[in-house]
């Protein structure tokens, strides 16, 4: 395991799984602990304020429950569950890590990265370089970190909080131009390494799942482990359904006609919509996502039917034949067929783990061009900020960065997008305010016009 022996158990926070000895537990006991962990994670996903986290503090130490979830993921290889587990545990790790004092943060980071040098004297000695020759090199290569600062203002914090890690563990900082590489080491301010912690933690969880999966496949008790995993994941699915958010019916009115306002579409919807219009094809899960989001924006059933009639697999079908075939599934989305359930649009957390999120599923070179198609005026610095959030595995923050680049309203403080409809409503309200201001009318407060359900 990365960093073994470099940070003792007493140095590490109680909620940090790695570096701990937890003993042995029966599958029955693991099942109970696992269910408690699921309950806690779902509660955490619903209550992300600092006050809520403080009230839940004792629940984070259920490490046996996390082991149970890892075991369930390894035994079943359920990719939906694994994606959810990595995403939500990564978010929980970030929230808890950010609350640590500096010493604890360094201890966790040392364990994750294997080696971490802190302080310019320590780094200089390890690399065999003088501090005088090291600092100018850093300043010249990292203009983003030194801009608008005087040289002496930069030297003081840099001398205390400069850090270095092995290239193999921190090369992502080089890719995002946030560090320099010297003699096999990546050198940057300590804060830059903190930004890497979530993605490395998720990698460690993923590696543990994969290693354990290979191990238990060869175990004579594999079927028992698989039955255990299926029971725990079944519990999780039922809880997910119960806690699925209800979208208010008054989010969008037919008068808004937001389904016609492509300029207000969130990036996931915009990209899927453009792809379908240009090719006539989307995979099944992406069709479902597109249909649900268009419905949430107020698109009437009749409009959806007309849209999907364009699909390449409907070529040669008469309108009547299409209504009997594909039309059934579209009416199903509107609660008019089958179980007659009024399906709701997925929130961002669900889209990230199960559907299409461009900040997760798209290569950044391609994504840059797609983003420029949505916002031709976006600057290179704004694209860099989006890229940094993607590297840090923060797709909802990357989406918020894109939103900020579109509306350019300093009074609207949104750091995370939680639902695609939140994105559309904010862009739409902003466009209305700009229209009203251009006509000399008083503008509305954007934040007050965000649907109550989606206020961050």
CB 173 within 8 A of CB 142: no
Closest Cα partner for 203 from 158, 235, 171?
A: 171
Per-residue pLDDT tens listing for the chain (456 residues): 333 334 555 688 989 999 888 888 999 999 999 999 999 988 887 765 555 667 777 788 889 999 999 999 999 988 768 877 887 898 889 889 988 988 899 999 999 998 898 888 888 888 888 877 777 767 665 554 444 334 334 444 444 578 889 998 888 888 777 788 888 898 888 888 888 888 889 999 999 999 999 999 998 999 999 999 999 999 988 887 655 433 333 344 444 678 888 989 999 999 999 988 888 888 889 999 999 999 999 888 888 988 998 887 787 788 878 887 778 888 888 887 766 677 889 999 999 988 999 999 998 989 999 999 899 999 999 999 999 999 989 999 999 999 999 988 777 778 899 999 999 999 988 876 655 555 554 434 433 333 333 222
Say whether 291 sits in a helix, a strand or coil. helix
* Helical ranges in 243-394 per DSSP H: 267-279, 284-296, 301-308, 319-324, 326-333, 348-354, 358-361, 364-374, 380-391
Burial of 347 (C-beta count, 10 Å sphere; 0-12/13-18/19+): buried
CB 456 within 8 A of CB 415: yes
CA-to-CA dists, residue 54 to 238, 240, 355, 379, angstroms: 27, 23, 32, 38
Q: Which residues contact 105 (CB under 8 A, 6 or more apart)?
A: 97, 194
Q: How far apart are CA 165 and CA 183, in angstroms?
A: 11
Angle at 413 between CA 409 and CA 417, to 5 degrees: 105
Radius of gyration of the chain (CA): 25
Q: Which residues of 228-266 are buried (b: 16+ CB within 10 A; e: fewer)?
A: bbeebbebbeeebeeeebebeeebbeeebebbeeeebbb
The DSSP letter of residue 260 is G
Structure tokens belonging to residue 391: 């590297």
pLDDT at 136: 72
Rounded-to-10 torsion of CA 30, 33, 34, 35: 130
Q: Distance between the two ends of the chain, CA-based, in angstroms?
A: 37
- CA neighbours closer than 13 Å in the CB half-sphere of residue 165: 28
Q: How far apart are CA 143 and CA 139, in angstroms?
A: 6
Structure tokens belonging to residue 47: 């209550």
Say whether 417 sits in a helix, a strand or coil. coil
Q: How far apart are CA 345 and CA 420, in angstroms?
A: 9
CB 188 within 8 A of CB 163: yes
């Amino acid at each position: 395991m990365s960093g073994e022996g470099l940070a003792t158990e007493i140095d590490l926070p109680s909620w940090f799984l790695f570096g701990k000895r937890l003993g042995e537990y029966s599958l029955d006991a693991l099942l109970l602990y696992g269910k408690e962990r699921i309950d806690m994670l779902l509660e955490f996903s619903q209550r992300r304020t600092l006050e809520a986290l403080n009230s839940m503090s004792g629940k984070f130490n259920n490490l046996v429950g996390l082991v149970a979830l890892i075991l369930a993921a390894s035994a079943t290889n359920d990719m939906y569950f694994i994606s959810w587990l990595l995403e939500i545990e990564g978010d929980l790790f970030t929230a808890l890590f950010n609350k640590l004092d500096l010493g604890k943060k360094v201890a966790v980071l040392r364990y994750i990265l294997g080696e971490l040098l802190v302080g310019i004297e320590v780094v200089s000695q390890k690399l065999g370089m003088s501090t005088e020759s090291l600092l100018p090199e850093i300043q010249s290569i990292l203009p983003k970190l030194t801009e608008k600062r005087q040289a002496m203002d930069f030297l003081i914090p840099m001398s205390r909080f400069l850090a270095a890690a092995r290239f193999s563990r921190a090369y992502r900082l080089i890719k995002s131009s946030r560090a320099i590489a010297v003699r096999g080491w990546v050198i940057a301010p300590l804060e830059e390494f903190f930004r890497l912690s979530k993605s490395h933690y998720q990698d460690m969880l993923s590696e543990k799942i994969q290693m354990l999966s290979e191990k238990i496949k060869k175990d004579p008790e594999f079927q028992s482990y698989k039955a255990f995993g299926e029971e725990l994941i079944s519990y999780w699915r039922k809880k997910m359904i119960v806690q699925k958010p209800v979208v208010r019916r008054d989010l969008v009115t037919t008068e808004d006609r937001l389904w016609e306002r492509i300029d207000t579409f969130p990036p996931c919807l915009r990209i899927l919509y453009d792809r379908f219009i240009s090719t006539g094809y989307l995979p099944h899960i992406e069709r479902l996502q597109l249909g649900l989001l268009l419905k949430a924006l107020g698109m009437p059933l009749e409009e959806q039917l007309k849209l999907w009639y364009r699909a390449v697999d409907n070529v040669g079908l008469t309108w009547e034949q299409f209504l009997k075939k594909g039309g059934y599934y579209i009416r199903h989305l509107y609660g008019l067929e089958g179980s007659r359930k009024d399906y709701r649009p997925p929130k961002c957390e669900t889209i990230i783990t199960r559907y299409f999120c461009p900040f997760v599923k798209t290569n950044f070179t391609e994504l840059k061009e797609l983003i420029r198609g949505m916002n031709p005026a976006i600057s290179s610095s704004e694209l860099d900020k989006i890229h940094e959030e993607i590297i840090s595995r923060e797709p909802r923050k990357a989406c918020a960065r894109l939103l900020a680049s579109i509306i350019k309203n300093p009074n609207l403080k949104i750091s995370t997008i939680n639902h695609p409809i939140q994105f559309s409503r904010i862009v739409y309200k902003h466009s209305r305010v700009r229209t009203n201001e251009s006509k000399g009318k008083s503008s509305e407060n954007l934040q007050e016009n965000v649907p109550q359900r989606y206020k961050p």
